[in-house]
């Protein structure tokens, strides 16, 4: 939910593809927390290139959000 994705993401309802702002839930994220575009050529390259690590994810979803927010702040334009 935390990072922004500048590549347009197709809408589930067939609406226009749009980028995902930071701190918003991805339109392709299911209730089970899984990506609806996983394995699809429509999935943004940045999503496939993100390689989670123990340092990024921590021990829980809460830890992961804290770490991702830290990365978001560190990489934000000045």
Other C-beta atoms closer than 10 Å to the C-beta of 20 total 21
Rounded CA-CA distance 25/34 in Å is: 12
Look at residue 2 and tell me whether its pLDDT is greater than 80: no
pLDDT in tens, 14-36: 899 999 998 899 999 999 989 99
Q: Tokens 């990489």 correspond to what residue?
A: 75
Six-digit token string for 59? 């021990």
Q: What single string gives the DSSP state of each residue in 34-72?
A: -BTTTT-TTS-HHHHH----HHHHTTSHHHHHHHHHHHH
């Amino acid at each position: 939910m935390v990072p922004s994705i500048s590549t347009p993401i197709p809408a589930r309802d067939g609406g226009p593809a749009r980028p995902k702002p930071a701190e918003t839930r991805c339109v392709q994220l299911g209730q089970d927390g899984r990506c609806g575009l996983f394995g699809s050529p429509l999935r943004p390259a940045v999503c496939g290139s993100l390689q989670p690590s123990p340092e990024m994810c921590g021990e829980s979803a809460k830890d992961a959000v804290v770490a991702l927010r830290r990365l978001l702040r560190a990489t934000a334009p000045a």
